[in-house]
Structure 1
Amino acid sequence: MVDIRSDTVTKPTTEMREAMAEAAVGDDVYGEDPTVRELEELTAELMGKEDAVFVPTGSMSNQVAIRTHTEPGDLILTDHSAHLIRSEGGAAAALSGVTMKPLPGVDGVFTPADINNAIEPLHRFNPVTLSPRMRLLCVENTHNAGGGTVWPLEQIHAVATAAHAHGLVTHLDGARLWHATAASGVSEGTYAEPFDTVNVC
């Protein structure tokens, strides 16, 4: 039987194990691991970002981004079937004290109108205390629960532009971004460009 549930159930080849055993290592806390630093620099270059940090899991990198961009009580907009909502164990609420406002996407893809409709007008009597601050828009590309849906590049730019127009920060959950690039021919950096942060696995 061939197990194709996920690339996480695969086993490294002999050559991969040998490469790991022979890799130059050091204490990454002190910036002394040349292999990790090379990976971070290469990833930042591919994504067109200033820098990158290696963490053990995609979910952890999403949570680092959320904690970086938000404060307790903030609201995050994302697709109703996003990995952030369905598969991260409520970590955003537990670790960052934020809540999710699901958007009604189709196969994981939503529109600028969905974002605009989700933005609630400030309460006219007490705008500060009655409504949580919407702070972050998260896009998942490819979308796992959407059957691996690849976001059209124009749609990515449209939703990022809408989010920025409302003063939101943007994050790309690019756990399968390599798949989007392979399927579409659009580079990782081009997909990542309109986002403030991006995670890749």
Structure 2
Amino acid sequence: MRVPRNVVNMISDTVTQPCARMRQAMATAVVGDDVHGTDPTVRELQRTAADLLGKPAALFVPSYGPISVLPLLGRPQNSFRCRGTMGNLIAVGVHCNRGDEVILGNKSHVFKYEGGGVSAFLGASMHTVPNQPNGELRLDDVEAAIRDDDPHYPKSSIFDIAATTTSPILIFLGLNW
């Protein structure tokens, strides 16, 4: 696909290509090991993100894709945003246990395109509710999906609100919902 020079192609992180200046910056960058905390660029990025969000720390995860995870039975101030497959797994894993259930739209990226990672890596199941033609999720569908407190059912732990792959909109209910 040919993209005009003044357009940034954000369709996927697999189609973006660095320009010559970006390649030069990468070649001359001071690097370290981010796992051991010795990469100055990652440390600065995480410190900047934490400062911008007013948090004591931030974690860089090297994959792309928006997700918001709201704990159903937790405090709204614990809600956060992560990026990409790795970020999605971290976000879900923080808020649910093995055997729990994630409620999400049937057209959400996590459900359709992340290879069942939530189930495979975290042992959580996904309970889908229908996305409307415009991408929205109906509140009554979400409420109906929340399981009763019964040992025969998985615990509905979180509600995953993600930009759907078929819609440009992102539903945000607010932290007090």
- What's the TM-score, normalizing by structure 2? 0.74
Pick one of 133, 136, 153 that aligns with 2:158. Answer: 136
Counterpart of 2:139? 112
Match of 2:78 in 1: none
Report the equivalent of 2:72: none
Structure 2 vs 1, CA of residues 82 and 7 (structure 1 numbering), >3 Å: closer, same or farther?
closer
Aligned with 1:20 (options 5, 16, 26)? 26
Identify if the C-alpha distance between structure 1 residues 47 and 148 changes in structure 2 by more than 3 Å, giving closer, same or farther: farther
Equivalence for 1:156: 173
Partners in 1 of 2:10 and 2:50 — Cα distance? 29
- Matches of 2:61 and 2:124 in 1, distance apart? 21
Q: Does 1:103 align with 2:129?
A: yes
The 1-side partners of 2:45 and 2:60 are apart by 8
Structure 1 residue ranges, 4+ long, deviating more than 4 angstroms after superposition: none
Does structure 2 retain, via aligned residues, the 8 Å contact 1:67–1:95? no
8 Å CA contact 2:147, 2:154 repeated in 1: no
What RMSD, in angstroms, separates the aligned Cα atoms of the two structures? 2.1
Deviations along 1:38-76, one digit per CA (max 9) or x if unpaired, are: 111222334444422122221111112222221110000
Q: Structure 2 CA distance, aligned partners of 1:139 and 1:62?
A: 11
- Letter matched to residue 104 of structure 1: P
- Counterpart CA distance in 2 for 1:46 and 1:94 is 34
- Return 5+ residue gaps in structure 1 as ranges: 163-201
Identify, as 1 or 2, the structure richer in helix: 1
Question: What secondary structure does 1:120 align onto?
Answer: coil
The answer to whether structure 1 residue 6 and structure 2 residue 2 are counterparts is no
Q: Normalization by structure 1: what TM-score?
A: 0.66
Report the Cα distance in structure 1 between the residues aligned to 2:147 and 2:37, rounded to whole angstroms: 44
For this pair of structures, how many residues does the alignment match?
Answer: 150
Q: Residue type of the partner of 1:91?
A: G
**Offset, 1:131:** 1.3
User: Quick one: distance in 1 between partners of 2:53 and 2:160?
Assistant: 17
Which residue does the alignment assign to 1:190?
none
Structure 2: state its 5+ residue gaps. 4-8, 64-83
Query: Is structure 2 residue 102 aligned with structure 1 residue 76?
Result: yes
